[in-house]
Chain A
């Protein structure tokens, strides 16, 4: 009896698919298609070119993060967090590490140099992530050049982070209580060089895409997301800001050394069309890159002047041998390139393995709004909308 109750929704879904009208058609978009940005399957009920309904199917990249985190200790979970949003691994581990440090009560003891290095690498990674978002968005719309340019510039960031951590994408660089290693000698200078190189490139990119009439026609007034819907669907990050809400956890929570840094929070203004359309979401990301560049400059300056490298500086000095967290619950959140990344810990006594760790991925929530945005649009516009959400399937499926 109860099994039937539990199957009710599945039966209703199957009936919905089998009962479509004779003029309607079910189209599968993905899971193996570049425009879905990973292994996402969208089941579309279409009437001609019009999308009547979008049913996302997730789970193709489910790698059991929660279950793994219950099997290995806090330290060993960090590499798994890298694989959530694999385009912004530094930001993921930063959020996770912050949560564990706060539970341990050592978050205020972390040396400033370590915090500045963390913010520096996180902002570099944020630029890399937004470059992918912009580049692949260009290619979704049909512009190939921005994709090449973005990946060319991203590669410089990847090389720098590889230099620091030893790995190109999945770093395991930020550790509980410190860092894997100090940044290599000359990193600040190379970072500065990159910023000098990157600034004019950003202007070029802007000219290529932002003011491009074809791009504007494809994105302006498409996929308009009102602020109340965005909040109700748990959208965060650039998605929420593009709808006109000034909500950035770097400011709201003021974690790490962000209160000491100056940066603006770009929000959507509806310049090319309605507020919260695809163009606004794209523009917010472009503006955030500029802010990240400014944050990096400030970090480099402070690292060189106020917290320079000293021979006796040990970035692992505070790294605990065993993470002895007392039994408690803690939800930590941080501003990832995609939005609010949260980790919920249910810690238990006398062991360094958590009872439960849950990752709240921003992409997961941002994607859930697609069924609203995708109703009644053209199939081609659905690609534009999906691209503007900037999802990473590693984080949707976890």
Chain B
């Protein structure tokens, strides 16, 4: 595998953390998770888009490939975590970002955060899926419709407190 890297410094988790704090200020990283094999950075929810854009375009990182985007329900806590798995093809790096969203579980007040679909277009479908199954609302998303379930579905099935409906279009399904 050819190495496209021109930078003399090999970036790692600590370097990226320091650079992010340097560019965006110390409050951008809410906390970090170092348990397990893959450390993760918790980013402030309202600034996730600029952080992602910077990580994508900065010559030291070039996180040009979004591997995965998903959401996790943290029941019994009233919070959701949105997880971003970034990958840099030129530098062969991986990075995990997380955003924690505090939310009551009502269907009228979904947890919201800015969409990153303008940074990586692949996020468009991933975010639609997260909205569809977990009920995370992504602002500035170009087309936030349900993707896997029918448009008239009620509720968000991957939430841990989801209750199956008794009927669907007047058909008993229980």
Residues on A lying within 8 angstroms of B by beta carbon are: 2-3, 5-6, 8-10, 12-13, 58-59, 62, 64, 66-67, 70, 102-103, 231-234, 245-247, 251-252, 326-331, 333, 340, 342, 344, 346, 355-356, 358, 360, 364-365, 368, 397-398
Contacts and interface: CB of A to CB of B under 8 A. Distances in A.
Given A58-B147, A232-B122, A344-B68, A64 B110 contact: no
A231 B64 contact: yes
Contacts of B96: 329, 331
Contacts, number: 110
A66 B109 contact: no
Nearest to A368: B125
A67 B134 CA distance: 11
B68 A231 contact: no
Interface residues of B, number: 45
Contacts of A59: 147-150
B157 interface: yes
Contacts of B124: 368
A3 B67 CA distance: 31
A247 B92 CA distance: 10
B36 A328 contact: yes
Interface of B: 1-2, 33, 35-38, 40, 64-68, 70, 72-73, 83, 85, 89, 92, 94, 96, 107-110, 120-122, 124-125, 133, 137, 141, 143-151, 157-158
6 A-B pairs closest in CB distance: A328-B36, A234-B122, A59-B148, A360-B68, A358-B70, A9-B144
Given A233-B121, A356-B72, A365-B125, A329 B148 contact: no
Contact of B67 (A62, A245, A360): A360
Contacts of B145: 9-10, 13
Contacts of B109: 2
Given A331-B38, A356-B72, 8 more contacts: A9-B141, A66-B158, A233-B121, A246-B2, A247-B89, A251-B1, A328-B36, A331-B67
Contacts of A66: 133, 158
20 contacts: A9-B144, A9-B145, A12-B143, A13-B145, A58-B148, A62-B148, A62-B149, A66-B133, A66-B158, A67-B157, A231-B65, A231-B89, A232-B64, A245-B89, A328-B35, A331-B94, A333-B67, A356-B72, A358-B70, A398-B148
